[in-house]
Homo-oligomer: A and B are copies of this chain.
Amino acid sequence: MTNVSIIGIGQTEVREHWDTSLRHLAWYAIEAALDDAITTDIDAIYVGNMLAGSLSRQDHLGALIADFAGMRGREAITVEAADASGAAALRQAVLAIQSGLVQTALVVGVEKMTDQTGSAIGHALATTLDQDYEAVQGATPAALAALMMRRYLHTYGLQLADFAGFSINAHRNAAHNPYALFRHPLPPERFAAGTLVAAPVTLFDQAPLADGAAAVIVTHSERAMDMSPHPVRIAGSALATDTLALHDRRDILWLAAAAESAQKAMRHAGITPAGIHLFELHDAYTILAALSLEACGFAPPGQGWQLARDGQIGLDGRIPISTFGGLKARGHAGGATGVYQIVELARQLRGEAGECQVPGARVGLAQSLGGSGGTAVTHVLTIDNFQPPFSAQADRF
C-alpha cells in the first residue's frame, strides 16, 4: 500500500482539438482537476506525453505547462514511455510523494494526435517500436497487433468474430460518456463488416487516435482527507518493461511486462485478481484486451476472449472493462490515455460514474501499455477507507 491518494481529477473530451493548442488542452484538464481538489498548492508537475516533439515540434512540456497553468517555477518534467507515458507520469508522482520530498503533485497526460496526417503520424507512431529492427522494415503498431492476433486465432482455433465482444462492450459503455469520441453502439454485424487495417485486425479491432488531456492531483494519504471529500488511495503501483520488438519475445502471446507489473501492483496492494471489481485495460487492439486479461490473471492463456463472449466484461459482469468506452470508444489520446484510465477509475470508486457505474466498485485496476507491450504500468486504486482482505504489512514494497 502506498501512502499516496488522488484528491482531484479532470479531463477534456477525447476528439479532434484542432482549434486548441497543446498548452490549452493540458490546461483545461488541469483546471478541472484543480476545481475538483481542495487545493491550488502544487509542488511538482509530471507531464505524460509521447509525440509532441514529432507532431507539434514542442518538447520541454514540463516547464511550458507549469508556466501556462499558473505554476511558473514549479518542478516539472515530461515522462515518456510510448502509449504508457501518462501512467508512467503517475508512477513518478507516486514515487515523488512517497519520498517525502514532494507534498502535492499534478499529473497531466496530454496529446495531440490529429494535427498531422498521412506519413507524419505513421512515422511518429513507429517511434514507439524498435526502429532499427521493426519500424525500418515498415512495421506499424497495427501490423504488430495483427501478428499477435493471427497467432492467437491460429493457436486457439478462433475467428475474428470471437473478439467482437470487446469492441461492442466498449461502444456500449462509451454511449453514456460525454467525454468519449464514439458515443454510438457497435452492432455485431457492423463489427463483422469492419474494413481490414492489417489482416486480421480491422477498423473495429483498433482504437481511434485522438486528441485529449486528463489530469489527476495526488498527495500524502494523511493529508488527502482534508483536501478532498472522496480521496482515492493508490494502493499499488508498478512499472515493468519487455522487449520492444515482438520477435525478441519467447512467446508473442504473453505480455510479460503486463503480467509482471500487475503482479507487483497487486502484491503491493495486498490483493489478488479475485478482489478486483473492475479493470481499465489497454484495449488499443482487441487482441491486447484479451492478452491483458490473461497476463493479469483474469483468465488462463487462450481464454481471455471468452470473458467477452460470455458477457463477463460488462458493467455487471465478473470483471468489467473499458467502463467509459476504453481506448476503443472513448478514444486513444496517446500519452494522455493512461491518465484517462485513472480519472475513470477514480470516478467509479467515488460512485460518480452515472450510467457507466460498476455497482459496488471499491477496488479497481488500471493498466497502460506502451507500444506492443514493451512498457506496462499498473495501478491499483481503492476508496480510501478500504481494507484489503488480508494484511499487506508483510510486503513493504
Which A117-145 residues have a C-beta within 8 angstroms of B? 123-124, 126-132, 135
Interface pick from A7-15, A99-107, A207-215, A346-354: A99-107
Set B44, B54, B256: member contacting A54, Cβ < 8 A: B54
Taking a contact as CB atoms closer than 8 A, the residue among B23, B63, B256 that contacts A371 in the complex is: B63
The reply on A59 being an interface residue by CB < 8 A is: yes
A62 to chain B, nearest CB (A): 6
Q: Within 8 Å CB of A58, what residues of B?
A: 127, 131-132
User: Taking A50-B59, A53-B53 as contacts, is the C-beta distance between A81 and B73 under 8 angstroms?
Assistant: no
Are the C-beta atoms of B244 and A67 separated by less than 8 Å?
A: yes
Task: Report if A149 contacts B (CB, 8 A).
Answer: no
A53 to B52 alpha-carbon distance, docked (Å): 10
The residue in chain B whose Cβ has the minimal distance to the Cβ of A3 is B99
Q: Which of B92, B239, B375 touches A95 (beta carbons < 8 Å)?
A: B92
Per-position binary interface string of chain A over residues 81-92, scored 1 when its CB falls under 8 Å from any chain B CB and 0 otherwise: 110000010011
With A and B bound together, what is the CA distance between A31 and B54 in angstroms? 30
> Closest B-chain residue to A64, C-beta based?
B244
Q: Report which of B64, B80, B102, B370 forms a contact with A130, defined as CB distance below 8 A.
A: B64
**Is there an interface contact between B81 and A79, defined as CB atoms closer than 8 Å?**
no
B77 touches A78 (CB 8 A): no
Cα–Cα, bound, A60→B241 (Å): 10
A64 to B243 alpha-carbon distance, docked (Å): 6
Residues in A270-324 with C-beta less than 8 Å from chain B? none
Point out the residue from B2, B127, B237, B244 that lies within 8 Å of A63, measured CB to CB: B244
Q: Tell which of B2, B54, B63, B64 touches A53, judged by Cβ atoms closer than 8 Å.
A: B54
CB atoms of A127 and B60 under 8 A apart: yes
> Which listed residue, B75, B101, B127, touches A241 by the CB 8 Å rule?
B75
Q: Does A387 contact B (CB under 8 A)?
A: no
Q: Are B75 and A21 in contact (CB under 8 A)?
A: no
A50 to B242, CA, bound (A): 22
Do A59 and B95 have beta carbons less than 8 Å apart? no
A59 and B241 contact, CB distance less than 8 A? no
Q: Indicate if A76 sits at the interface (CB-CB under 8 A).
A: yes
A127-B58, A241-B62 known; A92 vs B77 contact (CB < 8 Å)? yes
Q: Which residues of B contact A61 (CB under 8 A)?
A: 80
Tell me which residues across on chain B come within 8 A of A79, comparing CB atoms. Answer: 77-80
| Residues of chain B contacted by A82 (CB below 8 angstroms) | 59-60, 63
* A128/B242 in contact, CB under 8 A: no
Contact indicator B74/A241 (Cβ below 8 Å):
yes
Contact A80 B77 (CB under 8 A): yes
Interface residues of A in 17-49 (CB under 8 A from B): 21, 23, 44
CB-CB contacts below 8 Å: A341-379 with B: 370-371, 374-375
Q: Whole-angstrom distance from the CB of A270 to the nearest CB of chain B?
A: 15
| Bound Cα distance A63, B244 (Å) | 7
Answer yes or no: A153 CB below 8 A from chain B CBs. no
Specify the chain B residue showing the minimal Cβ separation from A61. Answer: B80
Closest to A89 in B: B77
Q: How far is the CA of A244 from the CA of B67 in the complex (A)?
A: 8
Is A397 an interface residue when CB atoms closer than 8 A count as contact?
yes
Considering only residues 214-240 of chain A, those with a C-beta below 8 Å from chain B are: 237-240
Task: Report if A60-B257 is in contact (Cβ < 8 Å); known contacts: A54-B54, A78-B79, A79-B77.
Answer: no
| B57, B95, B260, B374: the one within 8 Å of A60 (CB) | B374
Q: Can you list 10 residue pairs at the A/B interface with Cβ under 8 Å?
A: A21-B132, A60-B127, A60-B370, A63-B242, A63-B370, A66-B241, A67-B244, A73-B260, A77-B91, A77-B375
List 11 other contacts, CB 8 Å, given A53-B53, A63-B241.
A2-B101, A50-B59, A53-B80, A53-B127, A57-B123, A60-B128, A63-B82, A77-B80, A95-B102, A98-B99, A100-B397
